[in-house]
């Protein structure tokens, strides 16, 4: 009852019996050559092609997993989010256990944080590049034209005011992260 539309990758991790099972059940197996791109990135590229081909109307892409265990693989997930802007026009989020990450492109963003599933903490992480000017509303510790930069200021252990809305304006890519209850 839970058959994926496709499984992609270089297939060095999928267990043989698992691969066989889904193959027999008719799931599409797409082998992508081992390159410098991660399985996540390649999967995203294939997904975008399928979205276009099928003419799907969607609002976002949700990624399950990618934030746990190995630090280098968490960083690889962030790297994929950077590449995602060139792969798909849809927002891509990554969630695992109690964390969500989402890469904000330069500009103004409005996040509704009133689903009831929001945990207490949130943060703004200038991963990959510093941001010269970040302005927020809706956080307990808001920023006004603030520099965010590793070695200067990184917004972690932040939280919300009671408005249910967070706005963020940034001049460079900035990683939003939040708790999931």
Q: Which residues bind its own copies (CB under 8 A)?
A: 36, 38, 70-73, 75-76, 78-79, 82-83, 126-130, 149-151, 173
**Shortest Cβ 149–its own copies spacing (Å):** 6
In Å, what is the CA distance from 153 to each residue of 19, 82, 99? 46, 21, 21
CB of 165 to its own copies, least distance (A): 28
Rounded Cα distance, 95 and 62, in Å: 7
Please, which residues bridge with residue 139 across strands? 160
The CA–CA distances, whole Å, from 157 to 6, 43, 176, 181 equal: 38, 32, 12, 15
Q: Choose between 8 and 38: whose C-beta lies nearer to its own copies.
A: 38
Written as six digits, the tokens of 163 are 């408005």
Closest distance to its own copies from the beta carbon of 103 (Å): 9
Question: Least distance (Å) from its own copies to the CB of residue 79?
Answer: 4
């Amino acid at each position: 009852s839970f058959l994926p539309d496709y499984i992609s990758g270089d297939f060095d991790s999928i267990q043989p019996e698992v691969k066989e099972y889904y193959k027999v059940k008719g799931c599409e197996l797409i082998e992508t050559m081992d390159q410098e791109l991660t399985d996540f990135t390649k999967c995203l590229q294939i997904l975008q092609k399928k979205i276009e081909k099928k003419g799907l109307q969607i609002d976002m892409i949700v990624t399950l997993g990618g934030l746990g265990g190995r630090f280098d693989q968490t960083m690889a997930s962030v790297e994929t989010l950077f590449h995602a802007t060139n792969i798909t026009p849809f927002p891509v989020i990554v969630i695992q256990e109690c964390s969500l990450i989402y890469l904000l492109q330069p500009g103004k963003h409005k996040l509704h944080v009133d689903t009831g599933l929001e945990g207490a903490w949130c943060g703004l992480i200038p991963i990959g590049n510093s941001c010269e000017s970040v302005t927020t509303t809706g956080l307990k510790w808001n920023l006004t034209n603030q520099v965010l930069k590793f070695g200067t200021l990184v917004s972690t252990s932040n939280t919300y005011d009671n408005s249910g809305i967070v706005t963020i304006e940034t001049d460079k890519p900035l990683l939003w992260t939040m708790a999931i209850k």
